[in-house]
Amino acid sequence: MNAMKKIFTTLAVLLLLPVMAQANYSQRADVQEFIDRMVEEHDFDRALLNQWVAKANRLDDVLESIARPAEKTLTWAQYRPIFLKEKRIELGKAFMQEHRELLARAEKETGVSQSIIAAIIGVETYYGRHKGKTAVFDSLMTLGFDYPPRSRFFRSELEHFLLLAREVDLDVSLIRGSYAGAMGMPQFISSSYRAYAVDFDGDGKRDLWDSTADVIGSVANYFKKHGWQRGGDVVQRARVKQAPEEVTRTKLKPHTSIGDFRKQGIITDKAYADDVMATLVTLEGDKGIEHWLGLENFYVITRYNHSALYAMAVYELSRELEK
Ligand SMILES: [Ca+2]
């Protein structure tokens, strides 16, 4: 009797496993409300939405990743070597050489430096080599409906993703990307893809997977639309006569004039007009604390990824690519 019971229990567990992998999103009232809205506001087919949702998986590794992004857990000394490796620099120089005409045209039209465009693509996906393996629909369902701290944002991205799929003809169930739903060579999230991607090779499609031209044009357009200043600096190393009273978290947006920083004993070798705005960037480097002044273009890079470390990595890689 006990043996039989054990067999039945084992069988029940085996049968339940596939069910447990499914999240049963279809049964949930908040998911049904979302479907109602997609049908009413955007004229989606309810049966099709229900089909997708019924097959959606809850991805626990996505929930783990979102809770500890590298930018929030690493110091500059730990973060920098990930992106400033010899191989990434070498491949970046080859990328710039191969696509020099497209990069030159993008810079001419938008003012965004060629090396910054290449560095972004290098940091995001190793120049298109690592575009992400997570099913975007599953990750956005998971984050939209099982991650309360940012459910509003990710439900909105899910809405954009479905609209994008309709606009540029993507298969919702096949598209893969990062754990947070970033896609293609430049890792655009759905709302950015819809708002900033451009058709730079003129074939009538905005393809951020297979058209390097569209990718280069779209990254440049993203920066232009976020206020990139042609020829403007990103950051300058600063010397600090007396250490600031407290090391505060870096504010990404320039908030203090260079003149006021000078009065506080924070100076750069390069001379700027007193009224140029900057932000103090304090980093834990491998040789101790580093101080930098971030200018407007530093802030623009953080519109791509809201992190001072990210902007510094893109900047330093871009400098290497110019050598
Ligand atoms: Ca195109």
Gap between the Cα atoms of 60 and 64, Å rounded: 6
CA 162–ligand 1 middle distance (angstroms): 20
Specify the pLDDT at position 9. Answer: 53
Sign of CA dihedral 173, 67, 118, 159: positive
The H-assigned helical ranges of the chain are 2-21, 29-42, 46-55, 60-67, 70-73, 76-83, 86-98, 100-110, 114-125, 136-146, 151-168, 190-196, 212-225, 258-263, 296-302, 308-322
Residue 215 CA to ligand 1 centre (angstroms): 9
Q: What is the 3-state secondary structure (H, E, C) of 86-108?
A: HHHHHHHHHHHHHCHHHHHHHHH
* Closest-CA residue to 79 (of 253, 285, 299, 321): 285
Q: Which of 98, 101, 107, 124 is catalytic?
A: 124
The pLDDT value given to residue 249: 74
- Cα separation of 50 and 25, whole Å? 9
Cα(305)–Cα(183) distance, integer angstroms: 14
3-class SS letters over 243-277? CCCCCCCCCCCCCEEHHHHHHCCEEECCCCCCCCE
Ligand 1 centroid, distance to 178 Cα (angstroms): 22
DSSP 8-24: HHHHHHHHHHHHHHB--
- The confidence score (pLDDT) of residue 75 equals 92
Q: Mean pLDDT in runs of 10 for the chain (323 residues)?
A: 54 47 85 98 98 96 89 90 97 98 98 98 97 97 97 98 97 96 98 98 97 98 98 96 69 96 93 96 93 97 96 98 96
In angstroms, how far is CA 247 from the centroid of its own chain? 27
Query: How far does residue 22's CA lie from ligand 1's centre (Å)?
Result: 36
Q: What is the pTM of this model?
A: 0.90
What does the buried/exposed string (b/e) look like for 199-220 if buried means 16 or more CB atoms within 10 Å of the residue's CB? ebbeeeebbbeebbbbbbbbbb
pLDDT of residue 72: 78
309-319 per-position pLDDT tens digit: 999 999 999 99
With contact defined as beta carbons under 8 Å apart, do 190 and 161 qualify? yes
What pLDDT score does 8 carry? Answer: 54
CB-facing half-sphere around the CA of 192: CA atoms within 13 A: 22
DSSP states of 154-168 = HHHHHHHHHHHHHHH
322 is catalytic: no
Q: What's the pLDDT score for residue 244?
A: 62
Residues present in the chain in total: 323
Ligand 1 centre to CA of 271 (Å) is: 42
Give the pLDDT score at 73: 82
Give the pLDDT of residue 17.
Answer: 46
Measure 226 CA to ligand 1 centroid, in angstroms: 22
- Position 18 scores a pLDDT of 42
Antiparallel, parallel or unpaired: β 288-294 and 235-240: antiparallel
Confidence (pLDDT) at 70: 75
User: Ligand 1 mean position to 232 CA, how many Å?
Assistant: 29
